[in-house]
Structure 1
Amino acid sequence: MCRVPGPTLADIARAAEVSTATVSHALNGTGRIGEATRRRVRETATRLGYGAPGPPRSRTLGIAVTTFATAWNYTEIAYFSRAVTAATSAAHARGYALTTLPADRAADDSWHGLAVDGMLIMDSPRGDPMVRALRARGIPLVFDGVPGDPRPGDHWVDNDHDATTRAVLDHLAASGARRIALQSGNGDEHYARAVTAAYERWCGERGAAPLIVPFDAADTHGHAFDTLLGTRDTGARDRPDAVYAAYDPGGRQLLAAAARHGLRVPGDLRVVCASEDPAYATTAPPVTTVTLDPERTARAAVALLVGLIEDGGAAGPGPVVVPARLLVRASSGGGRGAHPAAGPST
């Protein structure tokens, strides 16, 4: 990858109004300087486009989830756990180490000195500070999911969330559902926005009013569904007879809420959940799930990233689309089996 020479330490020192020694300490994490000064120098370096030109030196890739600038263990989520495992295997097969970074690192300034040859960034939101810092340094980036701030020349791997959402809703409608609700995230990641938009378009085409319940990972018992599923406020006629939960815990939340309101699944309420958790095959009843195939996504992303590092990338920029699959089980009232939920990869 060709990199344009950036500013010198002296340029950064002048802009930050410090000595070159202070700049060196700030960028390398050494010396006894105040945290405010260290942060100011690093922010100045990023703004000026400071980076270390030259070929890869560490043979190390990084991977991180930057959706939320808070400390949370994304490896406890089945999708991310499986993606990290597959990415590690794919990196090792190409002679690279893979460093898995904490989620809250996106909120600090450690990206300025991160020693990686390239980064795989998962669920990058708009205004991602880590992406800004790594772009300024000329570090090759590949995204799992459409980046929040895409630029010409960016590379990412994703599913066709519009086609997948429509396949789920069509499946539920074919099984007899007439009033379908969506549980979706209210964050800024592309996935939540894409699924919600596809659901709203599908409803609009059928003259149906959208019913959207915000996802809350801490809502173990599914109390967010109480108003929607309870007959006291909505009336049985207005109550939805199916819900698509777009996040992993949503299926269990729905089973808990249905039991609390005396609703049979799938007799009174059909349930589909996007999840990579195999335990959904043994719940009562087994829950129909959408798999986004994180292993295939991660392997494709690592292949793209190594290509960018070593030869500038043979593939053109833009998306690589990984097909999703619908694993039909008893909770959605359809026959068992696996069905494609989107078109072939491109």
Structure 2
Amino acid sequence: MCPVPRPTLADIARAAEVSTATVSHALNGTGRVGESTRRRVRETATALGYGAAAGTRTIGVAVTTYPRAWRYTEVAYFSRAIAAATTAAHARGYALTAFPADRVAQDTWHGLAVDGMLIMDSPRGDPMVQALRARGIPLVFDGAPGDARPGDRWVDNDHVATTHEVLDHLAASGARRIALQSGSGGEHYARMVTAAYVTWCADHAMSPLVIPFDEDDDEGHAFDEVLGRIDAVHAVYDPGGRQLLAAAARHGLRVPDDLLLVCASEDPGYAQTEPPVTTVTLDPERTARTAVSLLVDLIEGEQPVTGQAGNRQAEVPGPVLVPAGLRPRASSRRRGMY
């Protein structure tokens, strides 16, 4: 049995003979809307079964990168993204629910009670996405979906430009043998960064060296066999910077004198390490706010747009790019060079 579709802002606007912007302002108590118009819009919404009359409107969010349970809310990027997504959802009149990452319980996704879903780091063959697509649930992705379809919408960073910026920064600091610590899974982020790194190395006559990331490798043993052959590392996951610092300490190497380091991380603790670690921020707050806006527009029948976040361009589906940012600190600057 197909569920009865809930009314959208466009439905209410047509019935009340006002614009969708007026409907949004009237329902959220914002903007300059006359009291009689505000009352008419709210009465129309109630009559159509919108909002409280139809139950709380809800957006779901989940990270589906790995086919196992893991505490993604403890990762700085995801915790900050979810907090920002919650605020953005509330501003649009929606609740936000963060769901477990365990795909073993995927049967529950066939009956999930949400108006739309924000899927973060969706890999190829994602069964959760397949289940939600089958039900016609509106989806927006953080990061390009592994199985993108025409009409999909997602928010992402320019990983090629960001990776090249990091490598150029390390090269300008004197690095000549740069290694990349990256994931070996199927997530879009790792694949894009690794491909950009390999291309950059080819353009600079440098042999690529990719070190596999292991989240449980606190002491950075994955670096043991390569530390004598490299002079810089770009780590693409939160723990990677601390893993390299631990490995360097065990081998009697100094950062930045012997090894330069850049880590993609939202963890503010990297500003307090010894030395402070240069980080790359992917701006999870802006990414999440943009994704929620796209999703609510999709749920309510408005046409999202692509381009730079906040810059309304051609009304076609696809990616919206959020700029990443390099935060240089002592770990990537050789003493005396700056």
2:21 aligned residue? none
Matched ranges for 1:303-314 at <5 A: 303-314=293-304
Q: Are 2:114 and 1:116 aligned?
A: yes
The structure-2 alpha-carbon separation of the partners of 1:163 and 1:106, relative to structure 1 and needing over 3 Å to count, comes to: farther
Do the aligned residues in 1 keep the contact of 2:118 with 2:292 (CA within 8 Å)?
yes
Distance in 1 between residues matched to 2:57 and 2:324, nearest whole Å: 32
Per-residue Cα deviation, 1:223-248 (whole angstroms, up to 9, x for no partner): 0000011x4xxxxxxx1100000000
Letter in 2 for 1:54: P
Distance in 2 between residues matched to 1:276 and 1:106, nearest whole Å: 29
2:262 aligned residue? 272
Runs of 4+ residues deviating >6 angstroms: none
Do the aligned residues in 2 keep the contact of 1:275 with 1:290 (CA within 8 Å)?
yes
Q: Are 2:287 and 1:290 aligned?
A: no
Distance in 1 between residues matched to 2:259 and 2:171, nearest whole Å: 12
SS of residue matched to 2:270:
helix
1:130 aligned residue? 128
Distance in 2 between residues matched to 1:282 and 1:97, nearest whole Å: 36
Do the aligned residues in 2 keep the contact of 1:61 with 1:97 (CA within 8 Å)?
yes
Per-residue Cα deviation, 1:203-231 (whole angstroms, up to 9, x for no partner): 011221111100000000100000011x4
Letter in 1 for 2:256: P
1:324 aligned residue? 324
SS of residue matched to 1:108:
helix
Distance in 1 between residues matched to 2:251 and 2:71, nearest whole Å: 32
Do the aligned residues in 1 keep the contact of 2:304 with 2:317 (CA within 8 Å)?
no
Instruction: Give the structure-1-normalised TM-score.
Output: 0.78
Per-residue Cα deviation, 1:153-190 (whole angstroms, up to 9, x for no partner): 00000000000000000000001101100000001000
Distance in 2 between residues matched to 1:312 and 1:135, nearest whole Å: 19
Deviation at 1:69, TM superposition (A): 1.6
The structure-2 alpha-carbon separation of the partners of 1:224 and 1:139, relative to structure 1 and needing over 3 Å to count, comes to: same
Do the aligned residues in 2 keep the contact of 1:223 with 1:257 (CA within 8 Å)?
yes
Per-residue Cα deviation, 1:262-290 (whole angstroms, up to 9, x for no partner): 11100000000000000000000000000
SS of residue matched to 1:61:
strand
Do the aligned residues in 2 keep the contact of 1:106 with 1:128 (CA within 8 Å)?
no
Do the aligned residues in 1 keep the contact of 2:257 with 2:334 (CA within 8 Å)?
no
Distance in 2 between residues matched to 1:107 and 1:325, nearest whole Å: 37
1:41 aligned residue? none
SS of residue matched to 2:327:
strand
SS of residue matched to 1:183:
strand
The percent identity for this pair of structures is 73
1:92 aligned residue? 90
Letter in 2 for 1:295: E
2:199 aligned residue? 201
Do the aligned residues in 1 keep the contact of 2:236 with 2:263 (CA within 8 Å)?
yes
Letter in 1 for 2:333: G
Task: Point out where structure 1 has 5 or more consecutive residues left out of the alignment.
Answer: 1-7, 9-50, 232-238, 336-346
Letter in 2 for 1:211: L
Distance in 2 between residues matched to 1:115 and 1:325, nearest whole Å: 36
Q: Are 2:249 and 1:259 aligned?
A: yes
Do the aligned residues in 1 keep the contact of 2:103 with 2:127 (CA within 8 Å)?
no
Distance in 2 between residues matched to 1:314 and 1:266, nearest whole Å: 45
Deviation at 1:105, TM superposition (A): 4.4
Matched ranges for 1:223-234 at <5 A: 223-229=221-227, 231=228
Matched ranges for 1:1-346 at <5 A: 8=1, 51-55=2-6, 57=54, 58-105=56-103, 107-229=105-227, 231=228, 239-315=229-305, 316-333=316-333
Distance in 2 between residues matched to 1:314 and 1:299, nearest whole Å: 13
Do the aligned residues in 2 keep the contact of 1:125 with 1:147 (CA within 8 Å)?
yes
Count of residue pairs brought into register by the alignment: 278
Letter in 2 for 1:253: Q
Distance in 2 between residues matched to 1:314 and 1:271, nearest whole Å: 38
Letter in 1 for 2:180: L
Q: What do you get for the CA RMSD once the two structures are aligned?
A: 1.3
Per mean C-alpha deviation after superposition, the further-off stretch among 106-115 and 75-84 is 106-115
2:43 aligned residue? none
SS of residue matched to 1:227:
coil
Deviation at 1:108, TM superposition (A): 2.0
Letter in 1 for 2:131: A
1:344 aligned residue? none
Task: Point out where structure 2 has 5 or more consecutive residues left out of the alignment.
Answer: 8-53, 306-315
The structure-2 alpha-carbon separation of the partners of 1:297 and 1:106, relative to structure 1 and needing over 3 Å to count, comes to: farther
Distance in 2 between residues matched to 1:313 and 1:114, nearest whole Å: 24
Do the aligned residues in 2 keep the contact of 1:106 with 1:129 (CA within 8 Å)?
no
